[in-house]
């Protein structure tokens, strides 16, 4: 299964995949919570040069969170 492309919107602190918009909330350096309509669905982290997603529950897949992480960290790279 192929995960659709994720599109990061840094000014609005969000990432969209298909028709779902995920809000990105910073927890610390390179560590963020991912929310849908205010409900946490996972975390994204950037460690050792790699963007990774960690699901919290079963509402959002590992693949979707990895795509969100890759899009977010690519868009915010300095």
Could you tell me which residues come within 8 angstroms of residue 19 by beta carbon, excluding any fewer than 6 positions away? none
The pLDDT of residue 14 is 98
Q: Which DSSP symbol is given to 16?
A: E
Global pTM? 0.92
C-beta separation of 42 from 23 below 8 A: no
pLDDT-based confidence at 78, cuts 50/70/90? Answer: low
16-49 pLDDT, tens digit per residue, is 999 999 999 999 989 999 999 999 999 999 999 9
* Rounded Cα gap, residues 65 and 55, in angstroms: 7
The pLDDT of residue 31 is 95
């Amino acid at each position: 299964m192929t995960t659709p492309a994720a599109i990061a919107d840094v000014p609005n602190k969000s990432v969209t995949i298909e028709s779902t918009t995920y809000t990105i909330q910073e927890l610390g350096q390179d560590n963020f919570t991912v929310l849908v309509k205010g409900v946490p669905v996972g975390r994204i982290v950037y460690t050792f040069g790699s963007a990774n997603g960690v699901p919290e529950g079963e509402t959002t897949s590992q693949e979707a969170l990895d795509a969100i992480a890759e899009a977010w960290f690519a868009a915010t790279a300095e």
